[in-house]
Amino acid sequence: MHRLTRDDIEQAARHVYQVMPATAQYAWPLLAQRLGCTVWVKHENHTPTGAFKVRGGITFMHWLTRAHPEAQGVVTATRGNHGQSLALAAATSGLKALIVVPQGNSQEKNAAMRGFGGEVIEYGRDFDEAREEAARLADVHGLYLVPPFHPELVKGVATYALELFNAVPDLDTVYVPIGCGSGICSVIAVRDALGLKTEVVGVVSTEAAAAKLSFETGALCDTASANTFADGLAVRRPIAEAFDIYGAGAARIVSVSDPEIAEAMRVYYTDTHNLAEGAGAAALAALMQERETMQGKRVGVILSGGNIDRPLYAKLIG
């Protein structure tokens, strides 16, 4: 993947802003009181799909219709947010979107993907098995297989990082959740394009720590399972192209447990009255874990999405 320039990201922003406005970043005073540092929250829970990935879907589809005008539609695997973004972007481009989710996937995310015009198929026990089925269906139906990580996805997602760094260029540290890696890679790309010194810290689940293990050993590591309720983090195998970027550009990777994530979700609600899904609260959970070393600093946390089923949220928030 070539190094993104500010021009690349600003061009992507022009496409993104035809579909959605920029999202807000706020320094919430109650979070600052609780944690002893300035906490800027980037509100990617306030996009048309309730998560950051819509940005990548928009730029990817813009690229696809020009690079592959013969494409009749797309197929991809997802736990929800990536699928929603592609369903919305495909519909705006007049293309079909076939979306493969693991069995037992969030019913509310499935309904949202269908609402945006996607056709949803349940297959496999986890994201990685759904990914294999998506590749098979691409061949069967002659659809363009959208990977979970692609330069055009990163370029679109980078628009949120550009918004954040334009608003708050003097952040000491930014915490970013890691699933397949487009979020952290985009933050690193924008930091580097702007020549900033901000530390970028990745966040994974203790139950899906492949990215952390890979980062610490310097080689790609898989895990046998990824059993966390934070489905946006539930990846057993890092994407090699993403690892090449965050392996070199991240300061460290922190792992947070499901109870820590649930506590961060409660804190988001109490201190900001924002709803965060598991992956969306992971960055704040990591900051809470590292609060002693962050005293007095200016910290950004990416609230990457707010898509969580009501019964699960009610159980966790109580």
* Catalytic residue positions, numbered: 53, 304
Strand 252-256 with 73-77, pairing: unpaired
- For residue 21, the tally of other CB atoms under 10 A from its CB is 10
DSSP calls for 94-112:
T-EEEEEE-TT--HHHHHH
CA dihedral (275, 278, 283, 284) positive or negative: positive
278-295 b/e with 16+ CB inside 10 Å = b? Answer: bbbbbbbbbbbbbeeebe
Could you tell me the CA-to-CA distances from 24 to 67, 225, 293 in Å, in that order?
A: 32, 35, 26
Cα–chain center distance at 44? 9
* Residues ≥6 apart with Cβ < 8 Å to 90: 57, 61, 73, 74, 96, 97, 117, 118
Q: Which two tokens stand for residue 65?
A: 């219709």
